[in-house]
A and B are shown apart, each in its own frame.
Chain A
Amino acid sequence: MKKNKPVRCLLLILLLGLPILLTGCWDSVELNRRAIVSGVAIDRGEGETEKYVLSFQVIVADEISGQNARGISPVALYTGKGRTMFEALANASRQTARFLSLAHVRVLVVSEKLAREGIKDMMDVLERESDTRLTSLVFVAKDQPARDILSTMTVFSKIPANDLVEKLDTTSKQFGYNYRLEVDDVIRGIQLRGGGPVINGVTIDGNREGADTNDNMKTIAPRAVIRVTELAAFKDDRLKGWLTGDAALGTALLHNKIKGYPAVIRHPHEGYITFDVYQSQVELSVEGSDPEHPVFIVKIIQQAAVKESPNSLNLTSPKTLENLSQTLIEDTVQKMRTAVEAAKKYNSDYIGFGQLMERSNPRGWKKVKDHWEEIFAHCEYRIDADAVIRHTDMRNNSFQVNP
């Protein structure tokens, strides 16, 4: 017995240890076998067999931070075609030397053509696949093939996809007409009864010729520039139209996604005055006891500062500021009203009124959800806005007051 003990121990160790080796290295992939994809463009190909044309913007790491850069493009675009998304992805491996790794995809660009046809089929793989993230940003390429967006050289980031992400982040903070819309938001939007998602638009300004080479940045004004543009309004999973101006800003406000934007109002006597709205808080509620005739209440509280007032208004007087904030309130109400009317025009409840209804009156919602489009088209809504002008920045009155 005693002599057997070490033998037994050894056997036990072997029994436990060897199976570990049998499994091999699971799904281990060395980093230099990976091609990190930064952005994916999804275009509509010809016919059913090539329905999806996927273009992968792959990072060439050596060109970005390596010491042995060859002076080639910092990203490379590879394309695969297929009947489904995954087939197209696998198909692209004929062009790529390494495994296309989708975990760092930051941008998904869908062409307008495909968006008008419907995007719900392609969203499934994005949600199912373990590598892709639900936090990737989704864009619709306006009037252009999505592929073009990802094959434009950019100045500030060597990786165009990152450039686009940063542009969106910057503009949603400064200009306010766009906000982050991720794969997750899009899928939720598609699921909205009688509604759909809104997706940021993206387009290329300028001359496409040579946009995919370094020549694009050789001039002071880059020949082609990626630009975040209007919001695309969807009904179910189909693009219905583009929201511009007040409609876009109002939509962003209704989703409570932006805090600040520059508000320009026209004073009856003194010309344009610009406010920097730096705080907006929106609350939606519904009086839905009668599900057939709900009344939606939009409550918005804003804080703003006077940024531009090139006139002879006496800004030291509280009364003037009171009046100015009144005009700001009117402006805000106008924007929101335009946004809701636009949604009604597209007959798409992308604002989420239906969802609100469902949450406040679930029983009522069951009765109306089958004909929600009709109710939404004629529903009443009320906008309660309030705005405070907190300060006038570095000056009180403009120098124009006492010339």
Chain B
Amino acid sequence: MNSRRQTLRSKSKEQGLPGSETGTPGLTGSLDEDIRNIRIALGGSPDLKVRKIQAGKEYPLQAAAVHISGLADATAVNEFVIGSLLSDPSGQQPDDTGSPEPFPAWLIQRVLELGSAEVTVEWNDLLLAVLSGDTAVLADGYLSAVICDTRGGEARSVEESSSQMVVRGPKDGFVESVATNISLIRRRIKSPKLRLEYTKIGTETQTHVAMLYMKEIAGEDLVDEARRRLNKISIDEVLESGFIEELIQDKTFTPFPTIYNSERPDVAAGNLLEGRVVIIVDGTPFVLILPAVFTQFFQSAEDYSQRFDIAILMRIVRYVSFIVLLLGPSVYIALTTYHYEMIPTTLLINLLSQRETVPFPAFVEALLMEGAFEILREAGVRMPRVIGQTVSVVGALILGSAVVEAGIITPIMVIVIALTGIASFAIPAYNMAIAGRIIRFAFLLLGAMFGFYGITLGLILLVAHMNSLRSFGIPYLSPFVPLSVKGQKDTILRLPLWLMGRGKTAAQLREEQPEYKRVTTGHEAGLAPLIRDNAAAGRSEEKVEFHEEE
């Protein structure tokens, strides 16, 4: 628990706290006044509990334990803070000069039966601690307070992750508590190399953000860069890891995710061991994993549980379904409106007779169906689970068959759209699937306007765009672009573990591949300067504006 106090940089000192005006009073030394100040600072909130006690037998002293009910673990507060204060097993000893030893030191050294307690003199730290669920013990006549770690309260227990299912593999998933999440990872990696750094982000929310990496495995420059970007964040609230992702990603204007997120501790642990950095945000079960390359979004935790040949097949299916998702409707439209000569004659006759009575052009038809499908999907996701069934029945069965029977949409179009829809679910990463869903509409337009010519142009643009992406300096399409034969071991392929050379770090891989290095660095100094320059040119400027507006 000590690690919790180990912060990247104490942000609270710079940014101030909610409710505290500039020129905070600080601790006055008078117990009543301090308590009153705390009450005022928190707006007289009724869940702030102040327990006044007389502590110490030899040298009795007025003291008060302050905590917020619900945030603090009631048992810890009652038994280990107030209980130990009252029972006072070891009396206060006088020091060399004869005066009683200082109250806070006495508390920490001989009274509190808690794993973590420390002294603070900072008013802001005190408030923040109380708001985080700690208990503050103040004493009359002292300018410092003892912060007792009593964080707790109700939390969801560890359950199976609902977003990334596996048939075979661990069933535990991250929860909303950062401490629990870290413990889930630590349980898997019992290595002293696993490093953890804490920071607080969000001027209002003061959200705990933990950064984990494996020392010596993760590249030094990568860790520095991640730390630097985290520290640069200046935002009021962090309610989900998506907030952090958006603020530290390399490029905003792209549909592709450049940071991976996962609800699974085994995925996080695996990525840590591959030299990536994991960022855990308090209050969400989704942790961020970076850097992320394109192929990563097509990998599933199960790939490593199943036989390698089957895993390769499953991966190929995923890539194929991504292509189907991107190009399915657009290729169909291009084929029927421009390149009818490419359709086999017998199939063409079939399509012709289907199209005979349909009132809309194929493009409008596709847009209608795609729109309907998106509505269904959105409704299905947001609906309460009980009603969700109805949506799928009404949507898939009734709407699908009725629309064909009414002769508004051709059956083949329903097949194409359905296939595209199913394909989007075959991609393991949801954020990659929605990227595909958006790009699909662009291709639809291109296919309808220029046929295969347009689709080809679109593909060229898409690949060029993907080539321009970097995730913390790593080219998004690596190890395909720049091509590295050694890097292919865990991309579309998943070689048997003994062939894969697991444990190779990103840094080691970089060393092995000179071309990889050339692209990512650009400076002799290595990877980091380039990223810094990029980041400095982009995001940091916007940051400044943000402050000015405030």
Contact = CB atoms under 8 A, between A and B. Distances in A.
Interface stretch (A58-66, A216-224, A311-319): A58-66
Interface string B23-55: 000000000000000000000000000000000
Interface stretch (B268-276, B289-297, B334-342): B334-342
Contact of A30 (B348, B355, B450, B541): B355
Interface stretch (A18-26, A238-246, A338-346): A18-26
B371 interface: no
A38 B352 CA distance: 14
Interface in B292-349: 336-338, 340-341, 345, 348-349
Nearest to B341: A103
A36 interface: yes
A64 B448 contact: no
Interface string A350-388: 000000000000000000000000000000000000000
A104 B348 contact: yes
Given A2-B545, A30-B337, A30-B362, A104 B345 contact: yes
Q: Do most interface residues of chain B lie in helix, strand or loop, or is the interface mixed?
A: helix
B100 interface: no
B546 to A, nearest CB: 12
B232 to A, nearest CB: 19
B357 interface: yes
B27 to A, nearest CB: 44
A36 B348 contact: yes
A32 B449 contact: no
Contact of B345 (A30, A31, A66, A106): A106
B353 A64 contact: yes
Contact of B352 (A20, A28, A34): A34
Contacts of A104: 340-341, 345, 348
B70 interface: no
B454 to A, nearest CB: 9
A62 B356 contact: yes
Contact of A23 (B341, B362, B449): B449
Interface string B340-379: 1100010011111111111001100000000000000000
Interface in A265-301: none
A7 interface: no
Contacts, number: 78
Interface string A18-57: 0010011111111110101010000000000000000000
B237 to A, nearest CB: 25
A101 interface: yes
A62 B357 CA distance: 10
A23 B448 CA distance: 12
A30 B450 CA distance: 13
B356 A20 contact: no
B450 A61 contact: no
Given A23-B449, A25-B449, A31 B351 contact: yes
| Interface range on chain A (Cβ under 8 Å from partner) | 20 to 34
Interface residues of B, number: 25
Contacts of A101: 340
B133 interface: no
A169 interface: no
B464 to A, nearest CB: 14
B404 to A, nearest CB: 11
B428 interface: no
B73 to A, nearest CB: 49
Interface string A87-113: 000000000000001011010000000
A64 B349 contact: yes
A157 to B, nearest CB: 10
A68 interface: yes
Nearest to A27: B338
B362 A31 contact: yes
Nearest to B336: A31
A36 B450 contact: no
Nearest to A31: B355
A249 B186 CA distance: 83
A64 B350 CA distance: 8
A26 B340 CA distance: 15
Contact of B356 (A25, A61, A162): A61
Contacts of A23: 449-450
Given A61-B349, A104-B348, A26 B338 contact: yes
B367 to A, nearest CB: 14
B451 interface: yes
A330 to B, nearest CB: 44
Most B-side CB within 10 Å, residue of A32, A34, A64: A32
A183 to B, nearest CB: 15
A28 B338 contact: yes
Contact of B353 (A25, A61, A103, A133): A61
A131 interface: yes
Contacts of B449: 20, 23-26, 28
Interface in B442-494: 448-451
A65 B356 CA distance: 11
Contacts of A32: 352, 355-356, 358
B462 to A, nearest CB: 15
Contacts of B341: 103-104, 131, 133
A149 B319 CA distance: 50
Which of B353, B356, B541 has most A Cβ within 10 Å?
B353
A62 B355 CA distance: 9
Nearest to A131: B341
A24 B351 CA distance: 25
Nearest to A67: B353
A23 B353 CA distance: 30
A348 to B, nearest CB: 34
A31 B352 contact: yes
Interface in A205-235: none
A62 B353 contact: yes
Contacts of A29: 337-338, 340
Nearest to A101: B340
Contact of A103 (B340, B352, B354, B450): B340
Contact of B340 (A34, A64, A133, A162): A34
Contacts of B336: 30-31
A177 B322 CA distance: 51
B72 to A, nearest CB: 46
A61 B340 contact: no
Contacts of A59: 349, 352
B336 to A, nearest CB: 5
B267 to A, nearest CB: 36
Contacts of A30: 336-337, 355, 361-362
B348 A68 contact: no
Among A20, A31, A106, the most chain B Cβ lie within 10 Å of the Cβ of A31
A30 B451 CA distance: 12
A22 to B, nearest CB: 11
A28 B355 contact: no
A25 B353 CA distance: 24
A104 B346 CA distance: 10
A28 B345 contact: no
Contacts of B353: 61-62, 64-66
Nearest to B352: A61
Contacts of A64: 349, 353
Given A23-B449, A61-B349, A104-B348, A28 B337 contact: yes
Given A30-B361, A31-B340, A66-B353, 18 more contacts: A2-B541, A25-B337, A26-B338, A27-B338, A28-B448, A31-B337, A32-B358, A34-B352, A36-B348, A36-B349, A61-B349, A61-B353, A62-B353, A64-B349, A66-B354, A68-B357, A104-B340, A162-B345
12 contacts: A2-B541, A25-B449, A26-B451, A34-B352, A62-B356, A64-B349, A64-B353, A66-B354, A68-B357, A103-B340, A104-B340, A106-B345
Q: Which A-B residue pairs are the 6 nearest by beta carbons?
A: A103-B341, A61-B352, A66-B353, A61-B353, A28-B337, A31-B355
Interface of A: 2, 20, 23-32, 34, 36, 38, 59, 61-62, 64-66, 68, 101, 103-104, 106, 131, 133, 162
